[in-house]
Structure 1
Amino acid sequence: MRKLKMASLLTVMMASFFIFSSHAQAVQYYTVSTSSGAPVNMRSGPGTSWGIVTTIQSGTRIPIYCYKTGTTVTGKYGTSNIWNYTERTLASGEVVYGFVSDTYMYTGSDGPVVPKCSW
């Protein structure tokens, strides 16, 4: 009976590892771009009224984890109220998280390319 419990536990642990690994690999990177080449603001929330966390240089590739709707913005890729939740590693090595308007990210879609943030 003990061997069966140990085998079951090992099976669950291995399945969890593979599930977690597949989710980690599912993150895709997208290019931030402006018509002028100016940097884009990463904000603490999904809109222009939220504070600026950092700026991201045009041409930089960043991941998108989820999205929220917020302030409508017009950018290089149209007009939208979609804000993508992402991360950026600063020169200091600190990782910061925030939102970038979808209108400054080349995703190949006019709509969301990731699930809506659940929080």
Structure 2
Amino acid sequence: MNKLIRLITPTVIIASLFIFSSQALAVQYFTVSTSSGAPVNMRSGPGTNYPIMLSIPSGTRVPYYCYAYGTTVTGKYGTSNIWDQVQWKDSRGVVIGYVSDTYVYTGSGGPVGYRCN
């Protein structure tokens, strides 16, 4: 019995590490959109007081990393103070910034995934 436990324990630990680390590295993709079809502004921080970095075309799927709380915005998917950190690639290269969750279809009315540091 002790021999069996000594064999199973490392296997369970290794399997657990693989499962949790692969979930942490997984990137989710969500669609950003507006009711009017206008582009969605990406900002340098989680709020309307942060500068606009660029605009993402409505209907575009973007990689989603985490969420943060900021200024309250009303958009296509309601009113919220949640801001999603997303990525967009333009002529300058890859840019990471924040979009109001009210323009990101995550399938949830609350935060999704991890909170940004």
Into which bin does the TM-score normalised by the smaller protein fall? 0.7 to 0.9
Matched positions, count:
102
- The corresponding residue for 1:71 is 71
Cα distance in structure 2, aligned partners of 1:78 and 1:22: 29
Unpaired runs of at least 5, structure 2:
1-14
RMSD across aligned C-alpha pairs, in angstroms? Answer: 1.9
- The corresponding residue for 1:36 is 36
Cα distance in structure 2, aligned partners of 1:21 and 1:109: 23
Higher strand proportion, which one? 2
Give the TM-score, by structure 1 length.
0.78
Deviation, structure 1 residue 49: 0.8
Cα distance in structure 1, aligned partners of 2:72 and 2:104: 14
Deviation, structure 1 residue 58: 0.4
Which SS does the other structure have where 1:23 is aligned? helix
Unpaired runs of at least 5, structure 1:
1-14
Cα distance in structure 1, aligned partners of 2:87 and 2:24: 16
The one-letter amino acid paired with 2:103 is Y
The one-letter amino acid paired with 1:72 is T
The one-letter amino acid paired with 1:99 is Y
Deviation, structure 1 residue 87: 1.1
Is it true that 1:23 corresponds to 2:30 in the alignment?
no
* Offset from partner CA, 1:61-116 (integer Å, 9 cap, x none): 01111111000000000000000011111134x11110000000111100011111
Q: What is the identity percentage for the equivalent residue pairs of Structure 1 and Structure 2? A: 65
- The corresponding residue for 1:95 is 94
Cα distance in structure 2, aligned partners of 1:22 and 1:78: 29
Deviation, structure 1 residue 20: 5.6
